Amino acid sequence: MILDIWASFLTLPLWVRLWMGFILVPINLVSLKFVGTHPHATWIAVLCIMGMLANVPILLRQREFSSALALPHLIFWTPLIVGILVTPTIWQQPMSSFAKFLLVLLVVNGISLAFDTLEAAKWLRARRGGRA
């Protein structure tokens, strides 16, 4: 099972693997660093981690990377993006390290959500019998 998932990961375009391994996953994991240090850090970390963790059952069931993996990102990271935008911390000057992190997280997960929206639409079309 794990080898199937790994083999599927290796079929993804190189830029996607690099994006996931060196940008998307690490920046979301950094959210854990701020838990307990800022008032909004816990819910931000929960949404960051859940956006990734919710993909584990999908990966285990499908044994491959598919467009279905976009759905948990939309579910958890859309409120994350909205939450970051309305969090006063991000707009305060001078910017704290937490605010700088939020800005990077906003950009990274915003880019991811743009791709995830396309992938989720593709997955839904395929489920309805349309073209993938």
pLDDT of residue 75: 97
129 Rama class: left (phi>0) / alpha (psi -120 to 50) / beta = left
Query: How many angstroms separate the Cα of 28 from the Cα of each of 6, 99, 102, 105?
Result: 21, 14, 10, 7
5, two tokens = 């998932």
Residue 130 confidence (pLDDT)? 63
Mutual angle of helices 97-127 and 41-53, in 10-degree steps? 30
What local confidence, expressed as pLDDT, does residue 89 receive?
86
pLDDT for 44 equals 96
pLDDT for the residue numbered 12: 96
User: From start to end of the chain, where are the E strands?
Assistant: none
Q: pTM (2 decimals)?
A: 0.91
Low pLDDT (below 50) residues in the chain: none
Give the pLDDT of residue 23.
98
10 Å CB burial of residue 90 (0-12, 13-18, 19+) is buried
CA–CA separation, 69 and 18 (whole Å): 17
